Amino acid sequence: MHKTSGGIFDPDQTQNRIDELEAESCKENFWSDQDNAKKTLSEKRMLEKDLETYVAATKGLDDFKALLELLKEEADPSLIEEAKEQAALLTDQFEALQVSFLFSEPQDQASAVIEINAGAGGTESCDWAYMLTRMYTMWANSKGYELEVIEEMPGDEAGLKNATLLIKGDRVYGLLKSEIGIHRLVRISPFDSASRRHTSFASIYAYPDIEEEIVIDIDPSDLRVDTFRASGAGGQHVNKTDSAVRITHLPTNSVVQCQNERSQHKNRDRAMKLLKAKLYDLELKKRKEADAEKESKKSGISWGNQIRSYVLHPYRMVKDHRINLENSNTDAVLDGDIDKFIYGVLKFMAQKGSK
User: What's the burial of 132, exposed, middle or buried (CB within 10 Å: 0-12/13-18/19+)?
Assistant: buried
Boundaries of domain holding 84:
4-100
Rounded CA-CA distance 19/27 in Å is 13
Would you say the C-alpha torsion 115, 121, 126, 129 has a positive or negative sign? negative
34-83: pLDDT as tens digits? 878 888 888 898 889 888 888 888 898 998 898 888 888 888 888 888 88
pLDDT higher than threshold 60 for residue 315:
yes
Q: What residues does 160 pair with on adjacent strands?
A: 154
Query: What pLDDT digit, counting tens, does each position of 337-351 carry?
Result: 999 999 999 999 888
Q: Is the same domain home to 127 and 57?
A: no
Same domain, 287 and 188: yes
Total count of domains within the chain: 2
Mean pLDDT of 254-281: 86
pTM: 0.74
The Cβ of residue 58 has, within 10 Å, a number of other Cβ atoms equal to 15
ω into residue 314 within 30 of 0, thus cis?
yes
Q: C-alpha angle 147/151/153, rounded to 5°? A: 130
Rounded mean pLDDT of 271-290? 78
Kindly report the average pLDDT of the chain as a whole number: 85
Query: Looking at residues 195-203, what average pLDDT do you find?
Result: 92
Does 178 share its domain with 306? yes
291 has a pLDDT exceeding 50? no
**CATH number of the domain that residue 291 is part of:** 3.30.70.1660
Neighbouring C-beta atoms of residue 318, cutoff 10 Å: 24
| 335 alpha carbon, distance to own chain's centre | 15
154 with 125, same domain: the answer is yes
pLDDT band with cut points at 50, 70 and 90 for residue 164: very high
What's the rounded mean pLDDT across residues 278-289? 75
The pLDDT tens digits for 100-154 are 888 878 788 889 999 999 998 789 999 999 999 999 999 999 999 999 999 999 9
User: Cβ distance 64 to 90 under 8 Å?
Assistant: yes
